[in-house]
């Protein structure tokens, strides 16, 4: 077992969760951030290899349907390394992300049973699908009108219920806002297929939203890279953690903004 003691010249070990808990609440709270930081460092590490561009495409594709880490940090790292190719990296990121969104749509349309098992397997069933208790105050007619698809009833305290409401209001705006903001894009792509919301609208909304997001990022680095590069490099690790927390907060934003 790790004891937390380091030899001269060695970096401090990351405590395992039980030891962290024994060390106090602060260590326990720091553990998820350390794991998250390591995962981000692994993602960004691809920027220093010849596989940086393929890794960006793969990450952008996977994040749109199931992978938890957004491609923004790797995009930033690649753009800072080769500023003249920033817009090309933004294009790769956008195209792969839209393609991944289409995959997410088909997962919702044809493979929801497998997606449902995976969601429930990682303990997200209640937050994504909702709980029956949240519908206890509804009338019988309102309960009968709850969204239902793929053998699942979606309750008011779940993400899919909120997303379905947004689709009913304006499907294009729903896709666009999810593609542009920290709101979890993958929830919308999967839900779009599950509720049979227009695939062309998904493609159009995703191109607009993801394009604005990634081209704005690449364009700013292309134009102002010399000024922002030292600041970004100095605080890059914490910037990536902040992006992760913002992405995690997007799941909360769904219920408030949609």
Across the chain, the runs of DSSP E, i.e. the strands, are 148-149, 152-153
Question: Cα–Cα distance between 23 and 45 in angstroms, integer?
Answer: 30
Write the pLDDT tens digit of every residue in 113-154. 888 888 888 787 888 889 999 988 889 898 888 998 888 899
Question: Cα–Cα distance between 162 and 181 in angstroms, integer?
Answer: 16
CA distances from 24 to 31, 34, 55 (A): 11, 16, 38
pLDDT of res. 86: 92
DSSP assignment letter at 149: E
pLDDT of res. 1: 38
Whether the predicted pLDDT of 82 surpasses 80: yes
Which of these, 123, 112, 86, 96, lies nearest to 210 by C-alpha position?
96
Question: Cα–Cα distance between 36 and 210 in angstroms, integer?
Answer: 23
pLDDT of res. 171: 94
Positive or negative, the CA dihedral 63, 68, 72, 75 is negative
Which of these, 161, 246, 187, lies nearest to 63 by C-alpha position?
187
Q: What residues are paired with 149 via a beta bridge?
A: 152
Tokens representing 71 are 């491609």
Which of these, 97, 16, 94, 33, lies nearest to 64 by C-alpha position?
97
Mean of pLDDT over the chain:
78
Which of these, 258, 247, 254, lies nearest to 128 by C-alpha position?
254
Lowest mean pLDDT among 91-95, 114-118, 210-214, 251-255: 251-255
Whether the predicted pLDDT of 28 surpasses 70: no
Task: Let me know: does 183 contact 174? Beta carbons within 8 Å.
Answer: no
Which residue has tokens 């920027």? 47
pLDDT of res. 245: 56
Q: Torsion angle, CA of 214/217/220/222, rounded to 10 degrees? A: -70
Which of these, 72, 102, 105, lies nearest to 90 by C-alpha position?
72
Question: Cα–Cα distance between 90 and 216 in angstroms, integer?
Answer: 8
* 31 phi, psi to nearest 5 deg: -55, -50
Task: Let me know: does 96 contact 60? Beta carbons within 8 Å.
Answer: yes
Q: Over range 55-75, report the average pLDDT.
A: 87
Pick the residue with more confidence: 51 or 42? 51
Positive or negative, the CA dihedral 52, 58, 61, 67 is negative
């Amino acid at each position: 077992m790790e004891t937390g003691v380091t030899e001269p010249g060695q970096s401090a070990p990351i405590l395992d969760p039980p030891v962290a808990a024994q060390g106090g609440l602060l260590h326990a709270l720091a553990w998820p951030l350390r794991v998250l930081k390591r995962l981000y460092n692994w993602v960004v590490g691809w920027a220093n290899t010849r596989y940086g561009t393929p890794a960006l495409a793969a990450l952008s594709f996977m994040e749109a349907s199931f992978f938890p880490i957004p491609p923004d940090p790797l995009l930033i790292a690649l753009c800072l390394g080769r500023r003249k190719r920033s817009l090309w990296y933004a294009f790769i990121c956008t195209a792969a992300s839209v393609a991944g969104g289409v995959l997410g749509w088909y997962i919702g349309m044809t493979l929801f049973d497998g997606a449902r098992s995976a969601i429930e397997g990682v303990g997200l069933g209640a937050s994504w699908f909702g709980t029956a208790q949240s519908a206890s105050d509804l009338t019988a007619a309102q309960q009968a009108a709850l969204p239902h698809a793929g053998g699942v009833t979606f309750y008011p305290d779940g993400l899919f219920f909120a997303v379905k409401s947004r689709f009913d209001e304006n499907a294009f705006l729903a896709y666009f806002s999810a593609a542009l903001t920290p709101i979890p894009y993958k929830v919308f792509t999967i839900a779009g297929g599950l509720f049979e919301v227009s695939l062309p609208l998904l493609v159009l909304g995703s191109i607009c939203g993801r394009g604005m997001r990634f081209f704005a990022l690449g364009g700013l680095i292309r134009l102002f890279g010399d000024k922002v590069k030292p600041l970004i490099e100095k605080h890059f690790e914490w910037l990536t953690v902040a992006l992760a927390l913002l992405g995690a907060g997007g799941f909360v934003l769904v219920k408030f903004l949609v």
